[in-house]
Amino acid sequence: MGMLWPGFLLLLALIPLAIWGYVWMLRRRRRFTVRYSSLSLVREALVGQSQIRRHLPFALFILAIISLIIALGRPVTAVGVPSSRATIILALDVSRSMCSTDIPPNRLAAAEDAALSFIQRQQSSTQIGLVGFAGFAQLLVPPTNDPELLEEAIANLTTGRRTAIGSAILESLDAIAEIDGTIAPSVRSPNGVTPSVSPSDTPEDYVPSIIVLLTDGASNAGPWPLEAAQQAAERGVRVYTIGFGTAQGGVMNCGPQYGIDPFSSGSPQFGMGSFGGGGGMGVVPPRH
């Protein structure tokens, strides 16, 4: 802790002088005592008064003066706070189930509108990245302050087979780790299990970076979402989920807007990469 105006602290030298003056006044009073023939009569006439109550007002006065002098010196201290340059990763589900029309015009269009609205409301200092996922996840736009780049990527999304929510979370973690050296990248293994980080690497508090996951909630590929979310929690990264869909579901209708017929056998693509095969995609009621 430091002082902006340390010169005012010199006034603390007056405190000992004030105490000395108080003691001198108490001793001076004793010289003007009145003699009585019997002190017992005086003691009976006086109300009992303790020494603490007698000197308490002066002690409080001294404490108030000391506090005032310290306040005049304007004490300051440096405190570390999270940076306002937060990093947000939007993980957008582009699986074929997102073409369901139970939310008009379909779930994917509603998710894109929500993502665009979210991007437009953010401050210019906020870095936003975009991850698209179906059978696997891919970073489409690294964290950036350019909203036009994000809007263009969202407008060019196409659908793919399956839904890998766990992969989306891990890919988002890796995107955050690329620009934040305090966050460890995700840990993956060939058998699909996502091991945890060591306790020594776990932060004491949440970091400014977050992941916003937009999906219909039916994960059927990749790592288990809870294991991936556990890795995010161990790194202090919060994950917010936004679900799209109703319990009744609806007819899937991707149409030409997303560049693929939902029942074709071709290899679907989205953004700048393609999804692998892995079988067809049935209509699965969303889980919330």
CATH number of the domain bearing residue 214: 3.40.50.410
Position 281 in a domain: no
Q: Over 50: is that where the pLDDT of 275 sits?
A: no
Whole-number percent of the chain with pLDDT over 90: 20
Q: Are residues 64 and 119 in the same domain?
A: no
Pairing state between β 2-3 and 75-76: antiparallel
**The domain containing residue 39 runs over which residues?**
2-76
Q: Over 60: is that where the pLDDT of 288 sits?
A: no
Cα(138)–Cα(285) distance, rounded to whole angstroms? Answer: 25
Q: Are residues 112 and 222 in the same domain?
A: yes
Q: Are residues 105 and 228 in the same domain?
A: yes
Q: Are residues 70 and 91 in the same domain?
A: no
pLDDT of residue 273: 35
Per-residue HEC secondary structure of the chain comes to CEECCHHHHHHHHHHHHHHHHHHHHHHHHHHHCCCCCCHHHHHHHCCCCCHHHHHHHHHHHHHHHHHHHHHHCCEECCCCCCCCCCEEEEEEECEHHHHECCCCCCHHHHHHHHHHHHHHHCCCCCEEEEEEECCCEEEEEEEECCHHHHHHHHHCCCCECCCCHHHHHHHHHHHHHHHCCCCCCCCCCCCCCCCCCCHHHCCCCCCCCEEEEEECCCCCCCCCHHHHHHHHHHCCCEEEEEECCCCCCCCECCCHHHCCCCCCCCCCEECCEECCCCCCCCCCCCCC
Structure tokens at 11: 């006034």
pLDDT of residue 85: 64
Position 105 in a domain: yes
Q: Which of 137, 163, 166, 138 is nearest to 229 (CA)?
A: 166
Tens digit of pLDDT for each residue in 63-117?
999 999 999 888 888 765 455 567 899 999 888 888 888 888 888 888 899 899 9
Q: Are residues 263 and 157 in the same domain?
A: yes
Structure tokens at 275: 């999804």
Q: Over 80: is that where the pLDDT of 133 sits?
A: yes
Q: Structurally, how many domains does the chain consist of?
A: 2
Q: Over 60: is that where the pLDDT of 119 sits?
A: yes
Residue ending a domain, choose from 76, 110, 133 = 76
Q: Over 60: is that where the pLDDT of 9 sits?
A: yes
pLDDT of residue 280: 30
Q: Are residues 70 and 96 in the same domain?
A: no
Position 82 in a domain: no
pLDDT of residue 134: 87
Position 109 in a domain: yes
pLDDT of residue 213: 92
pLDDT of residue 265: 37
Structure tokens at 247: 């319990």
Strand partners, 91: 131, 213
Tens digit of pLDDT for each residue in 155-199?
888 888 888 899 999 999 999 999 888 888 888 766 554 555 554
Tens digit of pLDDT for each residue in 232-264?
988 889 999 888 877 777 777 666 665 544 333
Q: Over 60: is that where the pLDDT of 42 sits?
A: no
Q: What is the mean pLDDT of residues 31-36?
A: 55
Q: Are residues 24 and 116 in the same domain?
A: no
Structure tokens at 201: 């690497």
Residue ending a domain, choose from 55, 76, 97 = 76
